[in-house]
Structure 1
Amino acid sequence: MLNSFLRLQKTVPEKFTIRDMIAASYINVITAHDVVAITLRAVVYYLAKDPGVQKKLQKEISDAEAASKLSTPAKYSEITSLSYLIFGEDSRLFNPERWIERELRDVTRMKSNVFTFGAGARNCIGKNLAMMQLTKIIVELYRHFDVKLAGPDKEWSVSGGWLTRQSEMETVLTKRE
């Protein structure tokens, strides 16, 4: 992204100043950081609560890596083919398979009910960037580490307001071999 901004600034410096480039870079880095952080904490928590699901995700990542389908770090275009990257009638259960073992029309219907980034005219313009950040972080995190909760029997605390806050979910990362 920064390279594109630099090329644009060099091509039309009178229309895209250094100040414009800094502002665009800042917006693209900071966009949706709260939603990314909140979502990432939820993914880490639920994967740590269900080690079997975490192992399935890591196996998919390892298999893609072994097949030379992932660079380091993984590109978003490579990640989109991973079907296990983390709703429906059992939305209160952590069940990533609901997105994989369903008909396309069911997945489309479920996606239409995801309001993490708003909807319609109020849809977050940073949604695609946030999703790219999330999936890349998740792949690299679980590619290199096993993640466990320091207190696996302890439930997290979630409080809501303008933004959701999660706590009581201390984690332990162990380098994967």
Structure 2
Amino acid sequence: MKRSTLMFVGALSVLPLAAAQAAGHGEFGPETGDREFSIAGTGGGDRDFDNSSIGLSGDLGWYLQPNVVVGIRQSVSYADIEGQSASDDFWNGSTRGYADYQFGHHKFRPLVGASLGAVYGDAVKDSAFAGLEAGAKYYVLPKTYMLGRAEYQWFFDDSSDSDDNFDDGAWVYTVGIGFNF
């Protein structure tokens, strides 16, 4: 009897915790129709990490569902190209559309996605690119998150080049902060 009473009291004590967690389910993160804005530092390098760049990236997205966001991303970066003199400054930019899927509805949300856009500037051949990305968001406040993302981008002048150029792509890394509104 004493053991069953103890189990009953233990089960009752868990109910408020479960109810609080269920009530807090929607406290963090976006809802359908929300927007997001993020600002991040970016860095990247070619496949062999010989050439590198550092810059800023900004995203503006719209949530089609609480876990699906589409938007536009703008990046600007300074590039250090192997074999070039230190006095040469190379500035590059990229503009792309993106779509991401976020897993879960908790503070920590892994994500995967894809992008399609253009790269232009001093140290790159102006061209189109496609990219795959993976990362995570961690909500530190109900509508504020920290972001980490890695993208692999491959470049092409027309659709027939896309398969050939996958092996000559570039990595882009992003760490920043974002807001849902």
TM range (shorter): under 0.3
Q: Which has the higher helix share?
A: 1
**Greater relative contact order (CA < 8 Å, ≥ 6 in sequence):** 1
Q: TM-score, normalized by length of structure 2? A: 0.24
Bigger share in strand: 2
Larger radius of gyration: 2
* TM-score, normalisation: structure 1: 0.25
